[in-house]
Amino acid sequence: MFFVKQLTPLNSATSISRRRQLLQIGWSGLLACSMEQMAEARQLPRGVSQPRAKSLIIVFCTGAISHHDTLDMKPEAAAEVRGEFSPIATSVAGTQICQHLPGLATLAHKYALVRTLSHKDNNHLMSTHHVLTGHLQPGGFFDKVASRDDWPCYSAGCEFLRPRSDGIPNGVNLPTYLMSAPLTWPGQHAGFLGPKYDPWQIVGDPSRADFRVESLSLIHGLDQTRLDSRRQLLQDLQAGSGSSDEALAAARMVEDQRLAFSMLSAGRLTQAFELQRESDAVRDRYGRHAFGQSLLLARRLVEAGVPIVQANMGPVQNWDSHSAIFQTLRDRLLTPLDRGVSALLHDLDERGLLQDTMVIMLGEFGRTPKINGDGGRDHWGPCFTGLFAGAGVQGGKVIGRSDEIGAYPDSTAYSPDDLGATVYSALGIEPHSVVRDRLNRPVHLNQGNVIEPLYFGGDAV
């Protein structure tokens, strides 16, 4: 299923009058903001460097993947820390990762590992917000659900500062929406910037034979010629609105109408969702499962021009292994993740897209160093690992070092704020750009620092 805003027609004099009143109120509030403030909120500060990346793919392991059992193993630690898996050599001398990630092991020269990501929270919702927005959740408390007071996700910040008019969204989330009644995970939408800047949410398993996005198809009986005719009629009606009130009433709908027409006209976006256009060999390389086909769809969306795609690896809390963690990772999670992400990196590289596409794989935190009594690991924010590739990232590097049991950083720690700064900077957006919250207060989009060792020397093990 695909969610789009519903357009409400102006079909009565009463409704027009009421909407004029509302628009006048809103217009007065808008004029209360000075032109200088408006420019400050929209303009990128001088001195912003050229973007390193045209696109970003976030491979999000919702629930939190265990760094001890994947990318930062501790084979010399005690049994209750090191776990059941063994490390294997990679394509980079001296770097080892889990035996159940053989595909990623062969590609270690293509990505960098940051082993000292760190924050102070162990709650899924608050941590997810922090990682996916680069900012602490305003007024955060245990299991605080999503609200319009939240900070904007990365694609929303991108959409606000660099709006598009070609029918291609700045962000797409797939293949699931992170919620578990009654909890809705924050960090998935535009927060205080408003629903206008929300990323598109796709809900549906791309590996299913019947997968398609209905809302990107023209309704029965409406072909492209009739669509163009209706668009021209709308433009004529808008041009004929003489009074300022009528113009304002029409302007209220222009943006949504434009987006709706653009969506239906953007053939390259529609085709991106048609996975059957890919050869069987390519689809098989990614794996015929939700993980693999979601990542293939992410690559296709990047090719179609979508700047930011978030692919959630499994339903909400899929990686939240408080019990039987080794069986769960071995039998259900690591193999499809390894196959899908390896195929994504191979595919992007072969198509010449990796140099312009940043790929980040991580969860909202790590897992506890010590295995609990149920054979699982619990929540652990103080130290976890992220994988970074493409768009100028120097492959083959291990950045940062955790302590002997993977509990705390033993070198420079990097917060989700720094992750956010790295994302925005890579896309050519000044992280400290000024936006305005729901109370119209100027705030900086992000207050972190770019993880410079991803691109340059220093602080690498």
> Is the peptide bond preceding residue 206 cis, with omega within 30 degrees of 0?
no
The DSSP symbol for 406 reads S
> Is the peptide bond preceding residue 75 cis, with omega within 30 degrees of 0?
no
**Cα separations in angstroms, 87 against 72, 74, 96, 105, 412:** 9, 9, 6, 10, 24
The pLDDT value recorded for residue 267 is: 77
339-360: buried (b, 16+ CB within 10 Å) or exposed (e) per residue? bbbbbbbbbbbeeebbebbbbb
Contact partners, residue 102, CB within 8 Å, separation at least 6:
88, 338
**Cα separations in angstroms, 317 against 83, 177, 309, 424, 447:** 21, 12, 19, 26, 28
The pLDDT value recorded for residue 215 is: 61
At residue 199, the 3 state secondary structure works out as coil
Q: Are 62 and 438 in contact (CB under 8 A)?
A: no
Q: Are 420 and 133 in contact (CB under 8 A)?
A: yes
Residues of the chain short of pLDDT 50, as ranges, are 1-48, 218-222, 224, 227, 244-245, 248-249, 251-252, 255-256, 265, 459
The pLDDT value recorded for residue 181 is: 85
Contact partners, residue 353, CB within 8 Å, separation at least 6:
55, 299, 302, 303, 347
C-alpha 294: how far from chain center: 13
The pLDDT value recorded for residue 33 is: 36
The pLDDT value recorded for residue 268 is: 81
Instruction: Please report the DSSP string for 229-266 in residue order.
Output: HHHHHHHHHHHT--SHHHHHHHHHHHHHHHHHHHHHH-
Q: Are 63 and 312 in contact (CB under 8 A)?
A: no
Closest residue by Cα to residue 8 from 262, 264, 260, 266? 260
The pLDDT value recorded for residue 238 is: 58
Q: Are 334 and 66 in contact (CB under 8 A)?
A: no
Q: What six digits make up the tokens of 97?
A: 């990762």
40 vs 250: CA distance, rounded Å:
27
Q: What six digits make up the tokens of 53?
A: 């990346």
Pairing of strands 200-201, 171-174: parallel
The pLDDT value recorded for residue 105 is: 98
Q: What six digits make up the tokens of 331?
A: 């039998």
At 397, the amino acid letter reads: K
Sheet holding 171-174, edge to edge: 200-201, 171-174, 308-312, 55-60, 357-362, 384-389, 111-117, 398-399
64-74: buried (b, 16+ CB within 10 Å) or exposed (e) per residue? bbbbbbbbbbb
The pLDDT value recorded for residue 137 is: 97
Sorted by where each begins, the domain ranges of the chain are 14-43, 54-213+273-454, 219-271
Query: CA neighbours within 13 Å on the CB side: how many for 8?
Result: 6
The model's pLDDT over 54-77, given as tens digits with 9 standing for 90+, comes to 999 999 999 999 999 999 999 999
102 vs 90: CA distance, rounded Å:
8
First to last CA, the chain: 45
Q: Are 111 and 338 in contact (CB under 8 A)?
A: no
Dmax (CA) for the chain in angstroms is: 78
The DSSP symbol for 414 reads B
The pLDDT value recorded for residue 220 is: 45
Q: Are 436 and 32 in contact (CB under 8 A)?
A: no
Fold of 54-213+273-454: Alkaline Phosphatase, subunit A (3.40.720)
Neighbours of 25 (CB within 10 A): 10
